[in-house]
Amino acid sequence: MNIYDNPKLKIDSKKEVNGTVGWKSPSNIALIKYWGKYGNQLPLNPSISFTLSQAYTQTTIEYKQKKKDNGKIDLDFYFEGKLKPDFARRINKYFKNLKEIFPFITQLKLEIHSDNSFPHSSGIASSASSMSSLALSLCSIERNIFDTEISTKEFFEKASFIARLGSGSACRSVYPKAALWGHTEKIPESSNYFAIPVKKHLHDNFRKFHDDILIVSKNAKSKSSSDGHAIMSSHRFKDGRILQANKRLYFLLNALKSGDFETFGEIVENEAFTLHGLMMSSSPAYVLMEPNTLNIINQIKTFRKNTKIPAFFSLDAGPNVHLLYPDAYSIQVQKFIDDNLVRFCKDGDYIKDYMGTGPKELDF
């Protein structure tokens, strides 16, 4: 039983319902990493992220009431204009799990179009942006058909809950600037079920942050995040990791509030290494970093030491490096990237991203 299960959301068979909805939703970069889950996509530890802007997915759903509700999910999925039956099967499975929350879903024929702002083969994880844009679109269908009267806060909380069921990290993408997912005693409104915004906890130093994503490899990862989460449930360092993430969250929140770059950098960089350390010490062990991941990291450390500019690295579950720094230093960092980092990037590619204002609903 989910908190959002609602058998009342069935379309009156006398009605003729159709329409189009859509959302553009960004990716996010975790500062405290979510790694490991239990139950129905619940996190082993709380996580916090900056919401991005340039790396996003745009999803539209055209819905039309079927003649008869046959209890089945009926959808076509187009990715970048092309019909993708394999993706459609994954979404079908996801939607099946949402039948109690959105009982109308089996009454509709759905045509879903999804486009990423970043190339599919850039090695950038798209699950956060794609699942959040899909979840937001489903919530918009509900609102359009049933005139559901809920506040903006409730709308995004529900979208975050739905996004979480598709991909854990996606639940953090529905808020501007920064989001926290997972229960922590420090923030009473925090929850394992959905993310909450943390914008109000941000010092001015952290309100305009860049995240340039240096593409080290464009290949598909040798191990998926789902495999990584699964391996965590029997990881020998599991308990220690949960304790560490909770403690770090507390210190990171304080740093974000007080504008403390040094503590921020120390925690964020160590989180990146911890994530990869957990992979390298798991059973089976695996490595997702590549030689150029370390070359870039070493360059960033030297740059920071020499210039005193608060520029820090982070890593997702892959070899690409995220370079985080405040807007005030963008000219110096740009030059540093061009002079010292581009040579380590695959085809010289990197994505200039920055903290964003959150998802946007599309007009139809």
**Binding residues for ligand PMV, per CB under 6 A?**
30, 33-35, 47, 127, 167-169, 225, 229, 275, 316-317
Q: How far is the CB of 358 from ligand PMV (least distance, A)?
A: 16
Question: 195: helix, coil or strand?
Answer: strand
Residue nearer to ligand PMV on the CB measure, 240 or 348: 240
Residue nearer to ligand PMV on the CB measure, 34 or 63: 34
Q: How far is the CB of 225 from ligand PMV (least distance, A)?
A: 4
Place of tokens 């997912």: 181
Place of tokens 């230093």: 329
Residue nearer to ligand PMV on the CB measure, 24 or 229: 229
Burial of 69 (0-12, 13-18, 19+ CB in 10 A): middle
What is the C-alpha end-to-end distance of the chain, expressed in Å? 34
| Contact present, 128 and 167 (Cβ < 8 Å) | yes
Residue nearer to ligand PMV on the CB measure, 157 or 316: 316
List the beta bridge partners of residue 43: 37
Q: In what order do the strands lie in the sheet with 321-326?
A: 312-315, 321-326, 209-214, 350-354
Q: How far is the CB of 259 from ligand PMV (least distance, A)?
A: 23
Q: How far is the CB of 275 from ligand PMV (least distance, A)?
A: 6
Residue nearer to ligand PMV on the CB measure, 108 or 165: 165
Q: Count other Cβ atoms within 10 Å, centred on residue 141.
A: 20
Residue nearer to ligand PMV on the CB measure, 304 or 322: 322
Residue nearer to ligand PMV on the CB measure, 60 or 274: 274
DSSP state letter for 208: S
Q: Which residues have CB under 8 Å from 277's CB, separation 6+?
A: none
Q: How far is the CB of 126 from ligand PMV (least distance, A)?
A: 9
Q: How far is the CB of 33 from ligand PMV (least distance, A)?
A: 4
Amino acid at 155: F
Q: How far is the CB of 198 from ligand PMV (least distance, A)?
A: 14
Q: How far is the CB of 49 from ligand PMV (least distance, A)?
A: 6
Q: How far is the CB of 244 from ligand PMV (least distance, A)?
A: 14
| Helices and strands in the chain, H and E counts | 8, 14
Cα-Cα-Cα-Cα torsion 150, 153, 156, 157, nearest 10 degrees, comes to -100
Residue nearer to ligand PMV on the CB measure, 30 or 345: 30
Handedness of CA 333, 125, 114, 163 (dihedral sign): negative
Alpha carbons 221 and 216: distance in angstroms, whole number = 12
Buried b (16+ CB within 10 A) or exposed e, 228-252: bbebbeebeebeebbebbbebbeeb
Question: 164: helix, coil or strand?
Answer: helix
Q: How far is the CB of 31 from ligand PMV (least distance, A)?
A: 9
Residue nearer to ligand PMV on the CB measure, 122 or 169: 169
Residue nearer to ligand PMV on the CB measure, 124 or 333: 124
Alpha carbons 209 and 225: distance in angstroms, whole number = 26
